[in-house]
Amino acid sequence: MLLSVLTTVHVIAGVFCLGAGAASALMKPKGGRWHRVAGRVFIRALAVSAVTAGVLLCFRFQPFFFALSVLSFYFGFSGTRVLERHRGIVSRPAPASPLDWLAAGAVLSVTVLAAYWHRIGVLGEDAGAVLGLLAFAVVAAGYDLWRFALPGVRLPLQSLHVFEHLTKISGAYIAVWCAFTANVAPEGVPGVWTQIAPAVIGTPILLFVANRYYRKWRNPAAKR
């Protein structure tokens, strides 16, 4: 009974992630009311998805989906918090909250746990995918911890927080799609392709869009 309820909640949260993420990306103007509303739904759905994935791990050991949930939630959480810490302060962010430190520390703790699982051999054929996903999360968490510890460091790009928001939220959305395609792919399709197809398609698009915005922020004259 509990397993069925958790699975249902997890699936519903994933559907909300897909819908709210798309809505937030399409809403204009960016930063407008409905963009923020859709974004909040997206982050909260990611949180529910991550929590239920952690609990479901106790019933069905599926570390790949757990790692995806951790990665997507941290990217989404961090991508949202970077804007909140810069609200009204463009050049220097507000100090990180205890929740920021806790989230980054949780990612590092999960990665240590996954490394232990790998050492004792329980990750099996998912070892490469799980450790690879968590490596991305560790890079993001490590960067955030550096910024938390040295908030006064000025970086060359004034609008870096907007750039971070774009790339992290997009990364979270791609991770959600990876989980979705891995679950709904028809039988006979190699699992690795269903797991990475959204990343293969989405990452070049993300890099193109990010580079476009990066050039505009580095060269304001390009906006004219």
Question: Model-level pTM?
Answer: 0.85
Residue 58's CB is within 10 A of a number of other CB atoms, namely 9
CA distances from 161 to 46, 81, 82, 133 (A): 21, 10, 6, 23
CB of 170 closer than 8 Å to CB of 71: no
* Close Cβ partners of 158 (under 8 Å, ≥ 6 residues apart): 90, 91, 217
d(CA 46, CA 75): 10
The stretch 40-51 carries a mean pLDDT of 95
The stretch 59-87 carries a mean pLDDT of 90
| Confidence (pLDDT) at 98 | 93
User: What token pair was written down for 125?
Assistant: 């054929």
pLDDT in tens, 12-34: 999 999 999 999 988 888 788 88
| Confidence (pLDDT) at 140 | 92
CB of 144 closer than 8 Å to CB of 104: yes
The stretch 74-99 carries a mean pLDDT of 81
d(CA 82, CA 152): 15
> Before 29, cis peptide (omega within 30)?
yes
pLDDT in tens, 110-168: 999 999 999 999 998 888 888 888 998 999 999 999 989 887 666 655 667 888 888 89
Q: In the chain, pLDDT over 90 holds for what percent of residues? A: 44
d(CA 143, CA 84): 17
d(CA 33, CA 5): 33
Compute, in degrees rounded to 10, the torsion defined by CA atoms 78, 82, 87, 93: 140
**What DSSP state is assigned to residue 29?**
S
| Confidence (pLDDT) at 155 | 63
CB of 121 closer than 8 Å to CB of 154: no
Q: How far is CA 57 from the centre of its chain?
A: 19
Is the predicted pLDDT of residue 92 greater than 80, yes or no?
no
pLDDT in tens, 155-203: 655 667 888 888 899 999 999 988 888 777 666 555 556 667 777 787 7
Local confidence band at 88 (pLDDT 50, 70, 90 cut-offs): low
Domain ranges for the chain = 61-223
The identity of residue 196, as a single letter, is: I
